[in-house]
Chains A and B, each alone.
Chain A
Amino acid sequence: MRPAIWLLAGLALCLFAISLLTGPAGIGPVQAITALFGLGEGPMPIVMREIRLPRAILGFAIGAGLGMTGAAMQGYLRNPLAEPGLIGVSGMAALGAVLAIQTGLSQVSGLALPFAALLGAAGGIALLFMLAGPRGGSITLILSGVAISALAGAGTALVLNLSPNPYAANEIVFWLMGSLADRSMVHVWLALPPMLLGGYMIWRTRRALDALTLGEAAAAALGVSPERLRYQLVVGVALIVGPATAVAGAIGFVGLVVPHILRPLVGARPSALLLAAGLGGAILLLGADISVRLILPERDLKLGVITALIGAPLFLHLIWKTRSGGRL
């Protein structure tokens, strides 16, 4: 387990550095690093510190958050289909964010935006756990997820279409697919603190999630309180997915793909998987964000396009496995 974690951490840091070095301005690596510490001359420090650094930090943090929430939700629901993007938690967060922006609340206080998104995410995941809690099967989970996603997507589109702003309606794509283009340090300071807190809360549930793999009765016998675990996960997931979606839109499939790929590597135990899935999520999202900048640099290709291109075939593979009698 240890070598795998170190490998993942090294890979994530490499991609973080590549993300800092990727951009249309064509700044050499040495110049980029000096500019990053504010030492270069001219506009380079502004490019590095105000444009590329926030993008790389958000790519790392949001990827890590989505990977970790995916692993935690799959552990709690004991179902490999659980993932914030796919089952509408990100969508509900996007709805909350859009409401905060279009009602003008986000202008009254900067904190209103991540907070509204957090409330949306919390609502989404609470509804999901209620409908498809620990005893619910895959069908219940997917059906409730489809319903929540559809509701959130329709609500987001409705709010944006009602906006007096002519650009708002075109932004439906951003809220459904996600993008990290031209985010600033302001967004980092809005999103990072609650995400760190959420990550800590989820990290603390790892023993309880391990116990739950033995079944609810055994977990209860080991002193795990189901209500407390559920509460911790709802708050933790909302603290991560809400602010992440508020600044980068709803990015799907990261939480689905990453735990699935890493399970053979680090084992299926939730406690082992949480950290690995966090690093894996960071790798996937940083990689996706670097590729959108390399494939179509001028078009602001959405992150969700890349993650879905990777995630959807895997999803189909999961379905294929269940159909042919394999265990999910």
Chain B
Amino acid sequence: MWGFVPHSRHWIAIAATWIMISAFAAHAAPKRVVSMNLCTDQIAMMLAAPGQLISVSDLAQDPRMSPMSSQAAAFPINYGRAEEIYLLRPDLVLAGEFASGPTVAMLRRLGLRVEVLPPAETIEAIRHEIKHVGALMGREVAARALLDQFDQELSRVTASRTRGRAALYYANGITSGGNTLAGTILRHAGFDNVADELGIRRTGTLPMELLVMSQPDYLITGAKWPGQSRSEAILDHPALSRIAPNTSHVTDRDWICGTPYILRAIEGLNP
């Protein structure tokens, strides 16, 4: 019995410390968050408390790729280089899966907390990403509000009936199947994806002959970049204008990242 008292005191001390630490952790939301990926930039900007996000990637300010370029203009930008990010003294770094491996490893070696987020390609993954970033930034309430709004809007824009077969066609003859973000957008806009019929579930080459033979009702091509390239010249091929002369659409910045902005892309496909 005597021996138990100090023992139980010991446990009480440990439990008390643990409660203190976890209470402290719950309140210690990161104060200096740096995002180095176009997609995490957007979710972080939507969720951050004023002054919490201190830098976004350079792409976030590019109006061709970022639907939030005007908001991003208010933030200092980074180019995803280890040195500049370390000098910002962040307590949380958000990186995408395509971030350079050595950069992430270097930042971790320097003692920074780096969270690598996979690209969100389905509605479920987008919801999970919003919740996850909200938890990482200590902004659970903002994340819940954003999710509620997202769910409402999604049920509003999702097409109730099938509107035909659509084909996605990008530079170099690339297409996207059902397991991609573009495929998700197509499905919610009420289109069947021609790539799925041809067995392309992710992203792959679609020979132009097969595209023409599949006779899609709707053709969605990639946006063109400034300057000229032979890769994009395929989108001007006369055969393409012959198969879908009046029913075509061009993807834009709302199609790049798994964020609530895909709702705008889905709505843009509505007649």
Chain A interface residues (CB < 8 Å from chain B): 23-25, 42-44, 46-47, 50-52, 101-102, 104, 106-107, 163-168, 170-171, 174, 182, 184-186, 297-300
Partner of A168, one of B212, B229, B239: B229
Sort A-B residue pairs by CB-CB distance and give the 6 closest, nearest first. Answer: A165-B227, A167-B231, A50-B239, A167-B229, A25-B209, A164-B227
Q: How far is the CB of B205 from chain A (nearest CB, A)?
A: 5
| Residues 73-98 of chain B, each 1 if its beta carbon lies under 8 Å from chain A, else 0 | 00000000000000000000000000
B30: interface (CB < 8 Å): no
Most chain A Cβ neighbours within 10 Å, of B207, B225, B234: B207
Does B100 belong to the interface (CB within 8 Å)? Answer: no
* Cross-chain contact A184 with B231 (CB below 8 angstroms): no
Task: Tell me if A107 and B228 are in contact (CB < 8 A).
Answer: yes
Hey, which chain A residues are within 8 Å of B230, CB to CB?
101, 167, 171, 174
Evaluate whether A165 and B213 lie within 8 angstroms (CB atoms) in the complex, with A43-B243, A297-B207 already known.
no
CB distance from A147 to the nearest CB of B (A): 27
Q: How far does the alpha carbon of A61 sit from the alpha carbon of B172 in the complex, in Å?
A: 24
A164–B226 contact, CB under 8 A? yes
| Separation of A51 and B238 alpha carbons in the complex (Å) | 9
Question: Contact: A299 with B205, CB < 8 Å?
Answer: yes
Contact indicator per residue, chain B 141-185, by CB within 8 Å of chain A (1) or not (0)? 000000000000000000000000000000111000000000000
Determine whether the beta carbon of B215 is less than 8 Å from that of A50: no
A24–B210 Cα distance when bound, in Å, is 7
Checking A47, A101, A165, A184 against B238 with a beta-carbon cut-off of 8 angstroms, the contacting residue is A184
Interface size class for chain B?
20 to 34
Q: Is B208 an interface residue (CB 8 A)?
A: yes
Interface residues of B (CB under 8 A from A): 171-173, 204-205, 207-210, 212-213, 215, 225-232, 234, 237-239, 242-243
Contacts of B234 in A (CB 8 A): 182
Query: Residue on A with the closest CB to B209?
Result: A25
Give the Cβ gap from A281 to chain B, nearest Cβ, in Å: 23
Chain A neighbourhood of B204, CB < 8 A: 298
Q: How far is the CA of A25 from the CA of B209 in the complex (A)?
A: 6
Asked whether B228 lies within 8 Å of A165 as measured between CB atoms, the reply is yes
- 18 chain-A/chain-B pairs, Cβ below 8 angstroms: A23-B207, A24-B207, A25-B212, A43-B243, A44-B213, A50-B239, A50-B242, A107-B228, A163-B228, A165-B232, A167-B225, A168-B228, A168-B231, A182-B173, A184-B239, A185-B238, A298-B204, A299-B205
The answer to whether A166 touches B225 (Cβ under 8 A) is: yes
Chain B residues with CB below 8 A from A44, complex form? 213
Kindly state the separation between the CA atoms of A23 and B213 in the bound complex, as whole angstroms: 12
A298 touches B207 (CB 8 A): yes
Contact across chains for A186 and B225 when beta carbons are under 8 A apart: no
Residue of B at shortest CB range from A50? B239
**Least CB separation from B231: chain A residue:** A167
A194 to chain B minimum Cβ distance, whole angstroms, is: 20
Partner of B209, one of A51, A163, A184, A186: A51
User: Which residues from B are CB-within-8-Å of A299?
Assistant: 205
Of the candidates B171, B227, B238, B242, the one having the most CB atoms from chain A within 10 angstroms of its own CB is: B227
